[in-house]
A = this chain, B = another copy of it.
Amino acid sequence: MADDLIEAHEPAEDDYKLERSVISAVYAAIEAMDANAIDVALDPLHPADIADLLEQISSGERRALLGLWSMGIDGEVLSELDENLREEVIGYLPEGVLSEAVRELDSDDVVDLVEDMEDLNQERILGALTDVDRVAVELALSYPEYSAGRLMQRELVVAPEHWNVGQTIDFLRREDNLPEQFYHVILVNPAYHPTGNVTLGKLLGSPRATKLTSIVEETFRTIPVKQPEEDVAYAFNQYHLISAPVVDEDERLVGVITIDDAMVVLDDEAEEDILRLAGVSGEESLSDRTLETVRQRLPWLGVNLLTAILASVVIAQFEEILTQIVALAVLMPIVASMGGNAGTQSLTVAVRAMATRDLTGSNVWRVVRREAFAGLFNGLIFAVIMGVVGFLWFGTPMLAVVIAVAMVVNMVVAALAGILIPIGLEKLGVDPALASGAFVTTVTDVVGFFAFLGLAAVLLV
């Protein structure tokens, strides 16, 4: 134990990247088929780091490693592992190793492990559990996906409201099966409704005779068992909760959600938003194979092709003037590109503000107005610059006027599209992070080409 502490105490590199030396040692050990050397390299690592290593090596190396070192995979490594890899890894594990790995997990971790698995693998894992645990997991799986019921653990520490500190501590000392981690004692009334949280710090710092009700936390919130997980995560983040009781429709206590569960959800949500804004399915992972990557990115590229063709159709309406004034073909992508960028900027700000619930009925019109004015100011600035550049380049004053006006028009439209489109999509129940980009680019391309070439057709012929 003491040695372990010293090992773990000093991270090898300050930035916590997996050390190259560990990875090289593992590669060498796989090459030499030396199970003992793998054990020496991996045993000091935290399960999360072992999972990262499994994600970073190739699938061939993974098979070789697990063939040699399957007994090294415990429940924690499995639950740290990227979802896309879990079934692969479980496929390599002998029955005994899998059972042992799964039995040591809390019920919420088992739920997380099995919820997206194929039926066959799910049965294999549920079969490895004790009856009590299996029932708990099956109950959790009966709640809707992505709900509080799936996140919560059923291992609870409760005390009747009328207890004092001494009674509670004596109870905790007697209790053999306390959860691995808990942060509150939850007070319940005779109907098993949670009525308050006592932090362990307060419990430890108060005299034995103190009534629990006199030291409950000021902020106390219960989570409905069917609440969507993103709302749960929001509540933890907004109200700085560390753990919160989960209640069923009758307000009865059914479980508890802790901050680590909420943190995972918050992380996933941010990740999903980033990827979706770029037109990547939120489920893409670095360990995906090529064909999976192709499949994940294809839909958005398809949508983009349609919008690009639409823009080309707009251009095609102006073929005549394009043959007369080739400078128009040279300059037109600038107008569209500046609009696209301005639109993406205001879109991203809007989507984030919606995700963090900062954009509400009370400030939406002020934000829309601000976006429009910001688009106008930036449009004017770049109109002047491009007007000058266009004039110096092609020597035609009227061409400079055309590009300047088109620039202002497109940047105002871009700013408005960037905020109004995600708001509209959310009202329709569509995730704005997923779909807004395509619409905004379509608008800025179409308006950009139309304004520039249309003005040119009117003013330059």
Chain B residues near A345 (CB-CB < 8 A): 278-280, 297, 300-301
Shortest Cβ gap from A267 to chain B (Å): 7
Q: Whose C-beta in chain B lies nearest to the C-beta of A238?
A: B48
Q: Does A294 contact B (CB under 8 A)?
A: yes
| Residues of B close to A445: CB separation below 8 A | 333, 337
Instruction: Assess whether A14 is interfacial by the CB under 8 Å rule.
Output: yes
B52 and A358: CB pair below 8 A?
Answer: yes
Closest to A319 in B: B326
B298 and A196 contact, CB distance less than 8 A: no
Choice from B203, B329, B441, B449 contacting A204 with Cβ under 8 Å: B203
Nearest residue in B to A174 (C-beta to C-beta)?
B205
Main secondary structure of the interface of A (DSSP, over half): helix
CB neighbours (8 Å) of A373 from chain B are: 290
Residue A92 is within 8 A (CB to CB) of chain B in the complex: no
Interface size class of A (residues with CB under 8 A): 35 or more
List which A239-290 residues lie within 8 A (CB) of chain B: 239-240, 242, 259-260, 263, 266-267, 270-271, 273-275, 277-280, 284, 286, 288-290
A311's partner among B46, B178, B333, B363 (CB-CB below 8 A) is B333
Give Cα A279–Cα B378 distance, bound, in whole angstroms: 14
Tell me, in angstroms, the Cα distance from A290 to B369 when the chains sit together. Answer: 9
Q: Which of A119-127, A132-140, A381-389 contacts B (4 or more CB under 8 A)?
A: A381-389
Q: Which residue of B lies closest to A334 (CB)?
A: B308
Number of copies: 2
Give the residues in chain B near A316, CB-CB below 8 Å.
Answer: 330
Decide: B389 and A274 in contact? CB cutoff 8 A. Answer: no
Q: Given contacts A56-B362, A204-B204, A224-B14, is CB(A347)–CB(B298) below 8 Å?
A: no
- Interchain CB contact (< 8 A) of A341 among B179, B279, B356: B279
Whether A231 and B14, one on each chain, are in contact in the complex, defined by CB atoms closer than 8 angstroms, is yes
Bound Cα distance A225, B62 (Å): 37
Q: Among B1, B267, B309, B357, point to the contact of A17 (Cβ < 8 A).
A: B357
Across the interface, which residues of B come within 8 angstroms of A427, CB to CB? Answer: none
A322-349 near B? 1/0 per residue, CB < 8 Å: 1100100111111011100110110111
For the complex, what is the distance from the CA of A52 to the CA of B173, rounded to whole Å?
43
CB pair B280 A348 closer than 8 Å: yes
A396 interface residue per 8 A CB criterion? no
Within the complex, the shortest CB–CB distance from A372 to chain B, in Å, comes to 9
12 contacts between A and B (CB under 8 A): A1-B216, A52-B358, A173-B204, A179-B201, A259-B263, A266-B267, A270-B270, A277-B278, A288-B370, A290-B374, A291-B377, A308-B333
Q: Which 6 A-B pairs have the closest CB atoms?
A: A278-B348, A200-B200, A270-B270, A329-B329, A293-B374, A56-B363
